[in-house]
Structure 1
Amino acid sequence: MRKVFITGTAGFIGFHLSQRLLDAGFVIHGYDGMTAYYDVALKRRRHSILLQHPNFSATEAMLQDLATLDAVIDDFAPSIIIHLAAQAGVRYSLEDPRSYVDTNVVGTFNVLEAARRLGISHLLFASTSSVYGANASIPFRETDKADGPLTVYAATKKAGEALAHSYAHLWNLPTTVFRFFTVYGKWGRPDLAYFKFVRNILEDKPIDVYNHGEMWRDFTSVDDLVEAVRLLIDVVPVRPEAGEAVEPGDSLSPDAPFRVVNIGNSDKTHLMDFIATIEDVLGKKAHYNFMPMQPGDAPATWADTALLTRLTGFQPKTSLRDGIAKFVSWYRDYYDV
């Protein structure tokens, strides 16, 4: 049985990924700081479900707590690390930028140091489509330049990518970075738009619709996302030999066992169509509060997932309506509405 150390296991994606890997026979130790950025009770509920599995154990601590992080990783002795924990949220990074640097830069550095020290066989690190910034060329490809982040959140995630590349190069640490595109699903984060839309529609409150609805997103089901990560665990990057050409479209670094992979639905959906799907599933119309574009937001995101498919054979298969229906069913059950 392979042992995997996962940061952020009480989070939305970390919870689902842990369930998927436990089902596949992995042994997991989770690490989560249980920060109060959103409802801690929801995080604790996720962890309580995972802790019912005999192959799951967990530590509650911050990534910046170096002594605890090192002691836990050394004791567990994993062969794989999946680093998901982060201070998330594009808009909150305008209010508290220091928390993003502390968690997403310093915390990531601490994880990288542990991976280097233990000689981890594969480090997988969650980044974001936000690093593409206002890139006018869509769909976004992993080989596109991503040097113009529009928010502190995006800048700290790109800094993490750069640090990871340097560790891969200097210490031959096989590293896969995945850039997530707008993820949704049950057990989701209450600060995300789809969660707020469902809650407000059910409570007869208006929903905030930014840029007057003229936005496009690559909405990705969390079920599809964690299946992609599961498959990428076994696609370990190998440093190219000197002078060896990298295949066109592959983001494999010529200087390190390091690769970036988009994980998205490979399609873009207009925001108003997304809201219409939620209305259809709920059987209830929304009251719209149209607003201007938020600082740091991009008008459109859309993933080119050809590399993901080439590496794993996987293509997302969850329809938007089915994915939203699953979330609404969970929401009604969890909140008893």
Structure 2
Amino acid sequence: MNDKDYFSYLYEIASHLNKEFSLHSALRMSLEKTVEILDLETGWFWLTEPDNKSVYLAASYNLPPALSKHPERLSGWCYCIKQYLRDDIDQAMNISEITCSRLQDIITGTKGLKFHAVIPITIKGQKVGLMNLLSKETRQLNEKELAILNTISQLVGTAIQRTRLKQSYKNHGLKSNSSLSNIIERVINPHIKDIISNLESSKGYKINEALNKTKELQKQLSLLSEESLEQERAETNTEEALLYPELPLTKRELEVLSLIKKGLTNNQIGNQLFIVERTVKFHVTSILSKLHANTRTEAVDIALKRGFLSI
């Protein structure tokens, strides 16, 4: 592929990242285009937890059956994650271990994937995540290809930063709107009602005029309150679309969580959903990670508060 094609793909990735409102969609699209650029097979993104001491799976593309049908194999630690969190990986690089550790000793469903590369993602020196790429061929990416991956890493890092800033801004805005609504409903309106009541018991043209003006003010404040609440609802919907991994859980994770809410054990959940207990444990770990919960009970409580589960 010549330089013109490379830059064309990079421009396309940058353009899509700038348009995407869902971080998950942005990451998946980046994976798809990166795999296409370098003629690879599959890949996935890990993003760091707030403590920067662990990571979670944020997006994947074209996983082989050995991973897509056994998601638990993408849980836990591996060579790349350990090296990244130890500050031993700061640029896109080929991994000397030919086969990804998550596919080692697996006989079927791997699609013959062997080649393994890792690309760290940072924002102003802060760890954000990493991308893994695999292909069937036993080869290493050259310097030009690694440079392209470093550029993609910067683009993705910028998209992640923008999404988090928007989320922070929305959260701040929601608090302001809630405060305004409370002030209007709890403080201003009661006082105005008292004024209207006092004026209604009096007589005279000026008093009637003041009464009309006060009633108009009350009407305007009520409209302002309604507009504030409408904006709050709209921003809540926008915020939920932006969050990842704090955005809604996967369909299977919601199924598992709803059964946890009913008090079922992992074994009982597995029997009801026709999956092995090991897979249930993986889903539970993922749920706790995404909701930043320490226990199953806490996860259910958080999900109820955020509206992921019905009471």
TM-score, normalised with respect to structure 1: 0.26
Higher relative contact order (CA 8 A, sep 6+): 1
Q: Which of these two proteins has the greater Rg computed from alpha carbons? A: 2
> As a proportion of its length, which structure holds more helix?
2
